[in-house]
Each structure stands twice: as C-alpha cells, then as structure tokens.
Amino acid sequence: MLSGGPLMLVVVALLGLVIAIYVISRNVKANKLAISEIKGSKEAEGEKTISESSSEEEEVAAFMALHLYLSKSRHDRESNVLTIERIQRRYSPWNAKIYSMNNILK
C-alpha cells in the first residue's frame, strides 16, 4: 500500500505553483500600473509630440501613396494564361517493379 508521501509531494507542488502564479500576477499588475503612470505624465508634458507624430504619419502616408501610384507603370503586364506542358517521366526501376508485382498477383 502506498504511503502519503507521493500525495504530499503533489499537494506541495500544487501549493507552490499557486503561490508562484499569485506573485507573478501581482508583479505584472504593478508593472502595468507603473507604465500607465509614466505614460500619463508624458502625455501631460508634451502634447506637441502627438501633433508632430501625426504630421509625420501623414507625410509617410502621402509618400507611400505616391510610390504605389508611380510604381504601377513599371510593372509588366501579364496575360494570366497558364501553359501546362506534358513531360515524359524518366525511367525508374521502381516503376518496373510495381508492374512485375501486378503480374505475379494475377
């Protein structure tokens, strides 16, 4: 009959896991709170940076639109026609073996 040793080991391992998950979740929440406080202070300090970044984004969007418009003329026109050519298969000794197996079975 088994003693309580393996059962106690499982219980202790599960208890350790629960404690580890609890500690990790508290640290994650504290980090998120600290990050949100830092972001809040940065937003209060410089609202100009937000407007500057939006103008940069507009410039990038305009540049990409011009690039895409001008690069369309450079592409080749494709006919979208597929050509399927039949090729002869090279000889393989395995092909010959399967045919001989079919003859034996008959």
Task: Read off the tokens for 17.
Answer: 């896991």
User: Is 106's pLDDT higher than 60?
Assistant: no
Nearest to 43 by CA among 58, 33, 51: 51
Domain boundaries, the chain: 9-44
Q: What is the pTM of this model?
A: 0.35
Categorize the per-residue pLDDT at 1 as very low, low, confident or very high, splitting at 50, 70 and 90: very low
Percent of the chain with pLDDT over 90: 21
Task: Read off the tokens for 85.
Answer: 């050519």
Query: What is the model's pLDDT at position 54?
Result: 72
Query: What is the model's pLDDT at position 21?
Result: 96
